[in-house]
Structure 1
Amino acid sequence: MSPASTTNPPPTDERLTVDGLAPEGRGRVLLIACGALAREILAMKEANGWDHLDLQCLPAILHNAPQRIVPAVETAVEAARGRYAEIFVVYADCGTGGLLQAACDRLGVGMVEGPHCYSFFEGNAVFAARGEVTAFYLTDFLVRQFDAFVWRPLGLDRHPELRDMYFGNYETLVYQAQTDDPLLTEKAKACAERLGLAFERRFTGYGDLGGVLGRL
């Protein structure tokens, strides 16, 4: 069983810091990340012995409110500045329309390339080549949190008739699996059935994310 499937995910409704700081932050890198990526980042840290990486997660619910991502990242970067050798933002563009990249450039910090996590999990080049426009994507996190991040925020628990308005142009639910977990696969199939979509599972692992963190 992979480390990701045995690590309890940190809370997703508040900011938190995992790991302690070395004296004066010498040689340490702070990852300011989306809470939806916490489990995967912690698994890679453990598997690769990346003890120089500290992790601070912003609320995963910002996934549903991209206009709040840039201010949250800016606040976190400014609060940590001077305490680390490097700060790296573990978000892709994530619906900010280029504003997050502009903010990171202004702040002098790096970030993950790509339009969103679905792209970098599959590999940005592979994802772009597919050119899919009728696929709705779920990751391990979103399969686990489907009701909290998809079903209830869209009001489908109260108004199931909205399903056609939201998903009428989709054809397939694509589950991008970071871990080989049969229970998550069954849950993802159930999500597809609830949305009235065909189901496809792709084992992506961590995609481009592992290489990005490995270079820090």
Structure 2
Amino acid sequence: MKKGVSFLVAVALMALASSLAAAFDPSPLQDTCVAIPEPENAVFVNGKFCKNPNLTVAEDFFFQGLNIPGNTANRVGSNVTTVNVDAIPGLNTLGISLVRIDYAPYGQNPPHTHPRATEILTVLEGTLLVGFVTSNPQNRLFSKVLNKGDVFVFPIGLIHFQFNIGHTNAVAIAGLNSQNPGVITIADAVFGSNPPINPDFLARAFQLDKKVVEYLQARF
């Protein structure tokens, strides 16, 4: 009997550990937890200090300017306007954020991942080629051409991308199920790390000449 109880306790603990490891933004335990930078008269919740609920105002839940196009005059031809907890303090503990993505003609949002969120994207203007790649060993590519009004989902943690294949500017809006989803742009992380990753290692990993790796590192 004791062995049976011990086994059930072990299973329960393993299930609890598994659920904690899989969790990301936790459910809030109060109506609002407006994020503030200073700890005075505040409570620390989920990485932010919470404003006294009696002092919150409508502006804590407001963001203005998502209608303004982002500047796409850069090396990738796109711009991401992020509306997360840093832009709207009232998003704190609510587990959601939003981005506007502007693309110049043939601009791209390069391969990247969001370590803490699934993304759902809808095209407002233009035509995008989008896709994501599943994990090893399959590495399956799921890709689709999206037009105005089309929607596509990028699962949490998977490498994905968007490419404006049209002759005009394109605009998309995306929702993410985290107040701070994070972003890891693959090329920037690999070739632009600080300090740099050893080029001999990268040359072997990517099956490239070392000089090509050093060139890429200099670019990033």
TM range (shorter): under 0.3
Higher-strand-fraction structure: 2
Higher-helix-fraction structure: 1
When normalised by structure 1's length, the TM-score is 0.24
Max Rg structure: 2
